[in-house]
Each structure stands twice: as structure tokens, then as C-alpha cells.
Structure 1
Amino acid sequence: MSGAQIVTLVAAFLSGFSAVSVFLKAAWVVEPLVQYGVPRSWWNLLGTAKAAGSAGLLVGLAVPPIGIAAAVGLVLYFTGAVVTVLKARSWSHVAFPIIYAAPAAAALVLGF
């Protein structure tokens, strides 16, 4: 297994874990969403976006253009999450979306 494939699997796992955490409404995920002012009506859509990105990364192991598209989507998603956290001035939480974005960005770079 190549380094790019390992990074892609890590990115897929983290994004999938994040999606499941939203779907299960884990307190450590949804309490900050409430604090940031993210409407509850968006939560399932956000979880679905992360789940789709995770699945896309996995499919991308066999069909690279899909993986690249999924990685771009996840990088954009987590960049939006960083902006949301910064707008809420929740400085201590800004590292979390970066932790999820980094492997997706690395998978994107290594995908080229």
C-alpha cells in the first residue's frame, strides 16, 4: 500500500467518523454547533456531506477523479468549518476542523 493510499484511508476514516458523530448527535460535536449558531436543520446535510466525501475518497482509490473531487469537497467543507469557528471567536476549537482538513488536503496533493 502506498503512502497516498494510507493518507486517503486516514482522511476517509476521519471524515466518516465526523459524519457519524453528527448523525448520532454526539454532545462534543453538536454543543459547539449550537454555540456557533449553525441551524439544526443543517446538521444532517453537513453529516451527509462528510459521509459523501468519505465514500468518495474510498471510491477514489479505484477511480482517481472521484477521489480528487471528494478531497476538494472535503477541503472546502472543513475550510468553511474553520471560518465558522473563527467567526464565532472560539479560538480553542479552531484546531479541530484543521485536524480533519489536513489529511483530506494531503490526499488531494498526493492524488496529483
Structure 2
Amino acid sequence: MFAVYATITIFASLLYGSAAVVYLIGHEFPKAQLDMKRLPRSWAPVLGMLLAAGSLGLLGGFALPMLGTLAAAGLVLYFIGALLAHLRVESHNLANWAGFFATAVAALAADLVYHWS
């Protein structure tokens, strides 16, 4: 079971870490997404930091299991918020969101099964 947990956790950490970098370097894609959702561009660094914290927290879960669990749960909540932002502006282009959300759910499920069952 450890191999499954480690694979999902490392993949999720790399995914969210790369997304955090894209937000934090000021790339145009996150700005366009914020514009589409009618959210202030000033939120980009904050959202990037939340993604970075989630990414690092997942890795920290190898040493402190509760940290990984909280990070995975936080990422699930982050992407529920992203879904609400999409629905608020009636955006139905949810393919990217679904991939990010499914990865967060998988990371949380793998963490819970490995550490807490």
C-alpha cells in the first residue's frame, strides 16, 4: 500500500507545485483564468501560495502523517472553491478542474487509507 500512497502523493505534489509556480511567476494563464471568473488578479499570488503550501504539505505527510492529511483536505477544499468560482460565472469548461480535483481526492483517499485505516 505504501507504493500506491507514495506514487499518488508525489504525483499530486509535483502537479500542485508546478501549478503554484505558474501562479507565482505571473504567467498569463492564471491571469486569464482569474479574469474569466471575474476575480481580482491580485489573488494570483495568494492562490499560488495556497497551492505551494498544499504541495509541500503533501510531502511533509511522509514525516508527519497529520500534515499530509490536512494538506490533502485543504487541496480538496481549494478545488471545491474553484468549482464554485466556475459555476458562479456559468463556465462549464471543467476538464482541467476535474483533473486537479480528482488528484486531490485521490491524494486524500490514499492518505486516509494508508495512515488512518
Relative to the length of structure 1, the TM-score reads: 0.91
Deviation per CA, 1:85-109: give whole Å up to 9, x if none. 12112212x1212211211211111
Structure number with bigger Rg = 2
Following the alignment from structure 1 to structure 2, what is the Cα–Cα distance between the partners of residues 83 and 44? 19
Aligned pair count? 111
Deviation per CA, 1:12-61: give whole Å up to 9, x if none. 11111111111122222221211211112211111100000000001112
The match for 1:39 is 40
The match for 1:96 is 96
Task: Structure 1: give runs of 5+ residues left out of the alignment.
Answer: none
Asked whether 1:19 is paired with 2:37, we answer no
Asked whether 1:109 is paired with 2:109, we answer yes
TM-align CA RMSD: 1.3
Contact 1:60 1:68 in 2 (8 A): yes
Task: Structure 2: give runs of 5+ residues left out of the alignment.
Answer: 113-117
The match for 1:69 is 70
Contact 1:81 1:97 in 2 (8 A): yes
Contact 1:8 1:103 in 2 (8 A): no
% identical equivalent positions: 38
